């Protein structure tokens, strides 16, 4: 049950005398509306923060910015791409010193799915650049798992699926 449903249930079960000086019909609606607005505002703010962090990831790829990834990646971070699984240190190394140079990167169609202090962000990461085999254009379907702790969001797991060229 999400927080909005819980608030509605609590307000709906209050006796009319629980709201002195107000009618039973207007008080729960007014209270629910105010509480719901505050809950949705907090959720919208958190969603915007997560989307901004996802965009920081894309910019960090272009800049090979180890500091950004040290901030974003939690200790114990796990990354999977297709059939490969690596940890935080390997991801940092690949981004900073790997053979590919990312020239452009952006996210598309991102959605935030909140579960309290955990969130899953899904979307598309589109990158282009060049590597040992020449220029590349890649499109990844991603699922990133974020956890909020110590006043900030950090990514604990990420999975990317590289869409084969023929399917684009």
Mean pLDDT, range 73-83, rounded to an integer: 95
- 23: confidence class by pLDDT, cuts 50, 70, 90: very low
| 162 strand-pairing partners | 140
Task: Indicate whether 119 pLDDT > 50.
Answer: yes
Kindly provide the b/e burial profile for residues 54-80, where b requires at least 16 CB atoms within 10 angstroms of the residue's own CB: beebbebbeeebeebbeebbbeebbbe
Higher pLDDT, 34 or 148: 148
Task: Indicate whether 91 pLDDT > 90.
Answer: yes
C-beta atoms surrounding 122 within 10 Å: 14
- 33: confidence class by pLDDT, cuts 50, 70, 90: low
Sign of CA dihedral 85, 87, 93, 96: positive
Task: Indicate whether 166 pLDDT > 90.
Answer: no
- 13: confidence class by pLDDT, cuts 50, 70, 90: very low
Higher pLDDT, 46 or 14: 46
Tokens of 47: 């969603």
Residue 43: the pLDDT is 61
- 20: confidence class by pLDDT, cuts 50, 70, 90: very low
Mean pLDDT, range 11-32, rounded to an integer: 42
Residue 148: the pLDDT is 97
Look over the chain and give the mean of its residue pLDDT values, rounded to a whole number: 82
Residue 140: the pLDDT is 97
Please give the model's pTM, rounded to 2 decimal places: 0.73
Report the percentage of the chain scoring pLDDT > 90. 70
């Amino acid at each position: 049950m999400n927080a909005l449903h819980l608030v509605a249930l609590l307000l709906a079960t209050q006796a009319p005398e629980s709201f002195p000086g107000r009618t039973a019909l207007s008080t729960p609606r007014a209270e629910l509306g105010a509480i719901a607005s505050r809950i949705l505002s907090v959720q919208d703010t958190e969603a915007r923060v997560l989307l901004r962090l996802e965009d920081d990831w894309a910019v960090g790829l272009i800049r090979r910015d180890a500091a950004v990834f040290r901030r974003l990646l939690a200790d114990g971070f796990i990354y999977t791409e297709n059939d490969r699984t690596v940890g935080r240190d390997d991801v940092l190394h690949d981004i900073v010193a790997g053979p590919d140079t990312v020239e452009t990167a952006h996210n598309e169609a991102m959605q935030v799915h909140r579960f309290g202090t955990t969130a899953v962000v899904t979307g598309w990461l589109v990158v282009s650049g060049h590597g040992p085999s020449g220029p590349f254009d890649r499109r990844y379907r991603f699922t990133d798992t974020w956890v909020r702790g110590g006043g900030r969001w950090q990514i604990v797991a990420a999975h990317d699926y590289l869409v084969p060229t023929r399917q684009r």
